[in-house]
Structure 1
Amino acid sequence: MRHEKVEVIFQAAVEVFAESGFDQAKMDEIAQAAGVAKGTIYYHFKSKEELFVGLMNEGMEKLSDCVRRGIALKKSPSEQLEALLHAHILFFVKNGKLAKLLLNEAFGTKERQRQFRTKIREYLNLIESVLQQGIEQGEFQMAHPREMASAIFGAASVVVLQKIYSLEENQSEEIEATAPTMIESVQQLVFHPLIK
């Protein structure tokens, strides 16, 4: 089990990184926001970069866990894909600052990109496995499930990110209120052709 201080540090880091961006964020600010000594952060993380990578990995793990729980409740690949989209979008809606960090800041240094790509690939593999199962069972028809997994990740992520940026941070209730519309829109894009 991870040390509870690490969770407190991660929560504070999300706030500070979201507010200041990676480059401008200071470890002193994160320590202050977490209510810990700066040395406590350095006990768990060697650098700001390592803290950020840990935070990104933690965020992707939480997203993956949330989606897996949603998928586990459904039997058919179509139902699983609907549950996946629902869980993905709701996770990003409820964790807007983390979503912004995951999608904006994670493509910094080469090391950050490498580690983040590994976590993204694991998540895309999860989506792809649902698609592949649907192909095998005759529910889905597609030539490139790997690329479709990336397209689904992109559509489900960007629809939330666009809504977060179009509204002020203090309008989280309004963002949550539009979640059903975002889910329906992405499901329609995935399940129904746009052209009659």
Structure 2
Amino acid sequence: MSPKIVDRNEKRKQIGFVALKHFAKYGFSASSMSRIANAAGVGKGTMYEYFSSKEELINFSLTLYVEQIEQKVASLIAGIPNPKTRLRNYLHEVIQAIKNDPYTMGVLLAVFKKLVSDSQDTEHTALLRGMFQSARTAIYNMIIEGVDKGIFRPEARQSAQSIAFNMIAFIDGLWLHALADPRAFDLTAQANDYLDRLFYSITPGPKQIDN
């Protein structure tokens, strides 16, 4: 019988998603390689064939998590020609995708806890923060496209990077507040209010809040 051929990339992804469930439930510190290996149905030795350390597994899993959301959202907004409309839909689809993921809050809390606890570890902190790079790039590109098409003011080009960072921070903060008190506000209404104010500040011509 021929030996079974293992797709290493697919196997890494499978282990990564199993790891995410553990990180969401137990946090990073309490999630051991042995425990994750057992849940993934592989030996501990096999785990180290795919990941040299738990830190590498953490960074891979978080990047995989964000990329999964990004890919889903990108496919949903790809056919929208107006970058302003696309940006609004982008924010709502990201919020909806996160809302529908049962592990989201645990993962996000684990991320923030690790960022705080490893604040002096610049290498790992940079890797964790870098997992949002694709989202920042997508937002940045939509702002620049809006400027090029005359939908946004030329000055927005210089602010595009800052806008992208602020929007990601807004999403993160919104979820932390929602976790503290889920009934305190409506996520969709808050997202619309944020975008209305943003567009008000970067759209040329007479000022008018979108409905």
Aligned equivalent of 2:94: 88
The correspondence for 1:183, drawn from 185, 188, 206, is: 188
Letter paired with 1:123: A
Note if 1:131 corresponds to 2:143: yes
Q: Work out the percentage of aligned pairs sharing the same amino acid.
A: 23
Preserved CA contact (<8 Å) 2:23 2:107: no
Which of 82, 85, 95 lines up with 1:79 in the alignment? 85
Alpha-carbon deviations, 1:20-64, whole Å to 9, x = none?
Answer: 222222112112222222122111101101100111221222232
Q: Equivalent residues in 2 for 1:111-130 (5 A)?
A: 111-130=123-142
> Which structure 1 segments of 5+ residues have no match?
168-173
Name whichever of 48-57 and 139-148 sits farther off: 139-148
- Cα gap change, 1:99/1:189 in structure 2, threshold over 3 Å: closer, same or farther? same
Q: What is the DSSP-based 3-state SS (H/G/I as helix, E as strand, rest coil) of the residue aligned with 2:27? A: helix
Query: Which position in structure 1 is the counterpart of 2:173?
Result: 158
TM-score relative to the length of structure 1: 0.79
Equivalent residue, structure 1, for 2:4: none
Work out whether residues 88 and 195 of structure 2, in 8 Å CA contact, stay in contact via their aligned partners in 1. Answer: no
- In structure 2, do the counterparts of structure 1 residues 103 and 75 end up closer, same or farther at CA, with 3 Å as the change threshold? farther
Q: Which runs of 5+ in 2 are unaligned?
A: 1-6, 202-208
Residue 49 (structure 2) aligns with: 43
Aligned residues: 184
Amino acid at match of 1:133: E
- Residues in 2 aligned to 1:112 and 1:165: alpha-carbon distance in whole angstroms: 27
Instruction: For residues 154-194 of structure 1, give each alpha carbon's deviation from its aligned partner in whole angstroms, at most 9, with x where no partner exists.
Output: 11232123323546xxxxxx9xxx8xx31332122122469
Contact 1:59 1:98 survives alignment (8 Å) = no
Confirm or deny: 8 A CA contact 1:31 1:41 kept in the other structure: yes
Mark the structure with the bigger radius of gyration: 2
Kindly provide the amino acid, as one letter, of the partner of residue 43 in structure 1.
E
CA distance in 2, matches of 1:10, 1:120: 17
1:151/1:6 CA distance change after superposition, 3 Å: same
Question: SS at the partner of 2:28?
Answer: helix
